[in-house]
Structure 1
């Protein structure tokens, strides 16, 4: 449940409520998300996001067991003059260059007239430890300085203890700069102290034309493998094996409804250099972008992965009137590895077909079937369903 607050209780302010239920077969997993918001005071906000699931492997649950878990539950107090913010509860904190943390605790921000910001946070880490969190704690902060109207420079730090032992400690520096309306630069650097070594480096320089028809970007990144987030499709699972990567991409709006993107990058894996690249096209089938067709060709050539992949996806509007619409969303990916044999297979396909119904009243229903095969599993078939309700209205109460 989410509760937000407006400036004037007498004015017509937006309120909203949202409920979602997700289900997956084989393995059987359920998810319920409840969100709501209302506005009453300009300086107080409350927010909560709670899920309940059955058969969740990360909690060691069987299919007939059910549990609830609060992902976010916070109360935030804001100074009316914008000098400070204070937040208490359970929240996910991402600040500066250091790793994002899931914390039960507090977060304080102080803002000086000189555009210097001070952040302090501390509490108990949320890690799903069934043995309890005795002697677990985390503390850290960030200091940032605004550089006029063109950028921000900041430094951040945190220290984490598990069971009374120091388990994680990081320090980082970040900056963003926009010296011209057509040029953007950003970078961040973080260093692990407990196990000394580089945690993450990311730098980008991008530029675009005034009409936004062309946009070019040059980037470089180096990440610890523990920073990799869980991904869904085969492209994102298999497409980032290199710890160090540097390259460039170019976006071109070739037509009012057609976008083309090309990217090439050098990647390092197992002390060997390789490369990757892709060509992607997105065609919108109507002026509002409700329907689209996407095609992508990708090549990965590094020590740990050598394959060619193709991806096709579409959003098809089957029916629409003033009250409701029905959409069909097919997506197919096929990866062809260079090393093909009877054990790994000659190709690794993945596909999903989803059907969605959305009504003006706020109700939405969706169902999907997903199937895949790879070098480990011959066939994996799953069914998914989603029911949601979302409503926004205005009023004094």
Structure 2
């Protein structure tokens, strides 16, 4: 029998021995270290940084990257790990995503060999925590309008601007900051590939590796959140931050650099959201079996069973979608629009599942003693970041019609 009562389709039977080992190792970590404390951390708005070394020891940081001290796991194994992490809490899954899918992937995909050797082994080991600065106060879904700029001045890059909703920024030792760079400045720095310059285009988005102890770098945690409370998101201010030429990420100028990282994060979200949904359904099943009303358990009522059945059907559909996505990624057949299908569908489904699960708990469901409403609140953020529903809908509309309708 499958490990989870919600696995009506025996999805577990499609997993390999190594995939099951990853699942069980991360699930054990969540059971031991997250579930006993997550209600308090969420209530007190605390990111439990003491867990970060243990996450690194599990090989979670950059686990799907090859070499440089990374675990080198498959895409499917990484997705399974994200499902188990988010069954604990979305905020803690986000830690893994920010570190590995965003900050480390930015260096892995866009950096020089020297940059990779310098940073990735220490980040995989958890000795260096990273963050990823793309979103700005006025540039969320449209990063092409970012106002942060880097100019070449007296043999150095000088960055100025602001970023918002940047995970882990106030505890990170290194930040990947994306900024507009004029072709003239890039040319002066010897960092412009003239073959990539398009007629009429005068600037390009470029990535920079920024030590967070640099003069002029300030990260401030965002407080009074109603979602992702056991997590850490920040505002970043960049005031004439001076960097050496080695700070510039050498490969993939333009938005394809950060978008490649965003797709890694979106992939993990498609799996993670189903972890929050599964935990909510299974918590509701357990509660319904124990809670007596009118002299019998809630689970004995038809209305309750309908809720549980409907939620579990949607859960299994989302899990199968995530598994198909992982298999395609491992096979090298994944196309970007597939990630949008799964991110859009699974976040949307997960929120509805968690909200419906909450109703089975009655008034008790609004406390941190039970997980569904915490998961639902967290998923409001997960649904928004790495592309809103609207953005992924337009990506799919473009795929279906061939007509871009973003503007």
Scaled to the shorter chain, the TM-score interval is: under 0.3
Higher strand proportion, which one? Answer: 1
Higher helix proportion, which one? Answer: 2
> Max radius of gyration: which structure?
1
Q: How high is the TM-score relative to the length of structure 1?
A: 0.23
Q: Which structure has more RCO (C-alpha within 8 Å, separation ≥ 6)?
A: 2
Q: How high is the TM-score relative to the length of structure 2?
A: 0.23
